[in-house]
Amino acid sequence: MRLIDIKNFNKEAVSAANTFRQTITPKKKGVIDDRFHKCKNHFPYFGMVRVNVGDNEFAMFSSNDDLVAMVYFWYGADSYEPMSLTLWSERAKRANIVLDVGSFTGVYSLLAAECNANSTIYAIEAARRTYGRLLSNVQINKATNRIKCINKAASNKEGHEMFLRFRGENILGIGDSFIQKDVKAIASEERVITTRIDTLCNEMNITPDLIKIGVEGAEILVLEGMQNILDEARADIIIEVTPKTAQDVYDILSKHKYKVRLIDERNMSVSQFDGKVNRVCNLLAEAF
């Protein structure tokens, strides 16, 4: 394929995205549905994507394979997890040490770096192919001295060998997990080495002020491996949960004296949380 062909693909994709945005209602903004996938697949885009979160701007690369970057490409500013990233940016402004557990391609890490020039961010990503894109995004935004990337899987054991399972879609990293899921077919597996967050923080002599956890169903294992940090750091936490893990996450955090609330991305609000959800969503946990 010639470079001019890629340029033409991108030109068509940009035009289609501009039209797409004009037809989206506020409630549909950022929704990854069949229409989004159809447009993304019919008008592939290969290159840099502008990411705007509030007043912050940075870039992410996508080869039409990063759903986070492609949400911003198709929907525009403040489209991916808008309430979670708003809460994150507010707290990142006053956080010196930030921990991004399950960083994927780095949107939370990159935003934290933009919000506070004096902070240091530790981005932990297990999957090698996703970790490579994370490194690229950090380099693209000239943040290598601020964002420290770690290619390990956070869990409740140190140095344990586990296997990431890949579904095989042509989408970078989404769905990778060493937790068994209801997936019809596993395309491949990747050997990963685990680390405990308590061990990691102790070795690097850091105490995080702000933590994000997004680990595709393995959040209980991560929390079990950071008992000391939960008790001592008292950091604000944004954590992704599933219907299967929500109650246990709530119980663990409540036991460690955290107030836990549900983040509503569509209505841009936080509300009381009773431990039950019917879909994947984020929680905000604050020490009291």
Reported as a single tens digit per residue, the pLDDT across 34-64 is: 999 999 999 999 999 999 999 999 999 999 9
Residues 191 and 261 in one domain: yes
**Last residue in a domain, options 58, 75, 92:** 75
| Same domain? 52 vs 94 | no
Give me the pLDDT at residue 106, please.
98
Pick from 24, 59, 75: which residue ends a domain? 75
Residue owning tokens 């431990």: 275
Same domain? 33 vs 134: no
Residues 165, 86 share a domain: yes
Please give the tally of structural domains in the chain.
Answer: 2
Same domain, 239 and 166: yes
> 105 and 39 in one domain?
no
Rounded to an integer, what is the distance from CA 194 to the centroid of its chain? Answer: 19
- Which range of residues forms the domain containing residue 65? 3-75
- Which runs of E-coded beta strand occur in 55-187? 56-63, 97-101, 120-124, 147-150, 153-154, 161-166
Whether 25 and 35 have beta carbons less than 8 Å apart is answered as no
Does one domain contain both 69 and 118?
no
Same domain, 68 and 135: no
Residue 7 phi, psi (nearest 5): -60, -40
**One domain, residues 121 and 97:** yes
Distance between CA 279 and CA 131 in Å, rounded? Answer: 26
How many whole angstroms separate alpha carbon 62 and alpha carbon 105? 10
Is residue 143 located within the same domain as residue 206? yes
Distance CA 267, CA 182 (A): 30
3-state secondary structure 96-145: CEEEEECCCCCHHHHHHHHHCCCCEEEEECCCHHHHHHHHHHHHHCCCCC
Q: What is the enclosing helix (H) or strand (E) of 4?
A: helix 3-22
How, if at all, do strands 188-195 and 153-154 pair?
Answer: parallel
What pTM was computed for the model? 0.94
156 and 243 fall within a common domain: yes
Both 131 and 255 in a single domain?
Answer: yes
Reported as a single tens digit per residue, the pLDDT across 144-175 is: 999 999 999 999 999 888 877 766 556 776 55
CATH code of the domain containing 105:
3.40.50.150
- For the chain, the distance separating the N- and C-terminal CA atoms, rounded to the nearest angstrom, is 57
Of 75, 99, 117, which closes a domain?
75
User: What span, in angstroms and rounded, lies between the C-alpha atoms of 106 and 116?
Assistant: 16
Q: What's the burial of 182, exposed, middle or buried (CB within 10 Å: 0-12/13-18/19+)?
A: exposed
Give me 167's structure tokens: 């579904």
pLDDT at 171: 72
Task: From first to last of the 288 residues of the chain, give the pLDDT tens digit.
Answer: 799 999 999 999 999 999 999 999 988 999 999 999 999 999 999 999 999 999 999 999 999 999 999 999 999 999 999 999 999 999 999 999 999 999 999 999 999 999 999 999 999 999 998 999 999 999 999 999 999 999 999 999 998 888 777 665 567 765 555 555 554 545 567 888 899 999 999 999 999 999 999 998 899 999 999 999 999 999 999 999 999 999 999 999 999 999 999 999 999 999 999 999 999 999 999 999
Distance CA 166, CA 189 (A): 6
